[in-house]
Amino acid sequence: MKKKNKIFGVIGLGTFGYHVARTLAQGGAEVIACDVNEERVREISEYVSLAYVLDATDAKALKESGIAKVDTAVVSIGENIEASILVVVQLKELGVKEVVARAVNPLHGRVLEKLGVDRVVYPEKEMAVRVAHSLLVDEFIEEIPIGEKHSLFEIRAFDFMLGKTLRELDIRRRFGVSVLAIKRGENLIINPMGDDKILPGDILVVLGTTEQLSSMASQRASSSRRS
């Protein structure tokens, strides 16, 4: 039996909301998008299943858009915190299964959490953190936060690792970082063993903190100075 695609609703089509809606649609999902701005709705309409010009704080208009039937609703209203909160309340009253909401500051985020939002995102903060990490560690590729401090990092193998096995590097003991996988071209080595050697071009998927990643980067720098 074919798995049914998830249906998403995206409310607010500023830069963040537009790219969320477009990416979801390009990934094969059914997307209902809405905004009060007609131009924004017109821009997204070629990508999504349905696009509406409406005021999402209007409970009747929101219900008529079909948002109540989505699996996940993303509230991406800009600086209007009051409107964001009102829309979240209405989505909850409509029985939407999962609500993800953008917060503009920590206080806004705490209010959203108390209203039962399943996931609060801080796009500006998260992007700033990623940019900072990329500046601190040249080998940085991607980051997926999985807690307050820990993240999954995708990094290019540091020079000091090349030609050595994981056992020789002893990364977990030295830096507190766990190597979960090695991406080697089209191949993915999951749960690599101590005898697995790091080769040029390898990309590592590691679990750790920013501080631990920076510590590994410092090892790279000190190795370069010694050579």
148 CB-near residues (< 8 Å, 6+ apart): none
What secondary structure letter does DSSP report for 224? H
The percentage of the chain sitting over the pLDDT mark of 70, rounded to a whole number, equals 88
Name, of 38-47, 56-65, 205-214, the range with top average pLDDT. 38-47
Q: Is the pLDDT of residue 152 over 60?
A: yes
Q: End-to-end CA distance of the chain: give it in Å, rounded.
A: 59
Q: Which residues pair with 182 in a beta bridge?
A: 189, 204
Q: Do the Cβ atoms of 5 and 65 come closer than 8 Å? A: no
The predicted-structure confidence for 182-192, as pLDDT tens digits, reads as follows 999 999 999 99
Q: How confident is the model at residue 26 (pLDDT cuts 50, 70, 90)?
A: confident
- Residue 1 is assigned to a structural domain of this protein: no
H or E element: which one contains 136? helix 123-136
Helix (H) or strand (E) holding 187: strand 187-190
Q: What CATH number does residue 191 fall under? A: 3.30.70.1450
- 197 vs 141, 166, 169, 194, CA distance in Å? 21, 6, 10, 8
Please indicate, yes or no, whether residues 84 and 157 belong to a single structural domain of this protein: no
User: Do 114 and 139 belong to one domain?
Assistant: no
Q: Which H or E run contains 53? A: strand 50-53
We report the CATH number of the domain holding residue 99 as: 3.40.50.720
Report pLDDT digits (tens) over 65-85.
999 899 999 999 877 899 999
Residue 167, domain extent:
126-226
pLDDT digits (tens, 9 = 90+) for 83-121: 999 999 999 999 999 999 999 888 999 999 999 999 998
Within this chain, do residues 37 and 104 fall inside the same structural domain, yes or no? yes
| Rg value, the chain, Cα | 22
Quote the tokens at residue 23: 């990416």
Of 91, 121, 151, the one marking the end of a domain is: 121
- Residue 186 three-state SS: coil
At residue 139 the predicted structure's pLDDT band, cuts being 50, 70 and 90, is confident
Whether residues 138 and 58 share a domain: the answer is no
- Is residue 174 domain-shared with residue 161, that is, in the same domain? yes
In a domain, 2, yes or no: no
Query: Looking at residues 39-54, what average pLDDT do you find?
Result: 95
Residue 163, sorted as left (phi over 0), alpha (psi -120 to 50) or beta, turns out to be left
End position of a domain, from candidates 89, 121, 153 = 121
- Residue 210 contacts residue 126 (beta carbons within 8 Å): no
Whether residue 67 is contained in a domain is answered as yes
**pTM over the 0.85 mark:** no
Statement to judge: residues 58 and 117 lie in one domain? yes
Beta-carbon count within 10 A of 166 CB: 19
Mean pLDDT, the chain, as a whole number? 88
Helix (H, G, I), strand (E, B) or coil at 214: helix
Q: What is the mean pLDDT of residues 28-57?
A: 94
Last residue of a domain, one of 64, 94, 121: 121
* Token pair of 175 as six digits: 């830096």
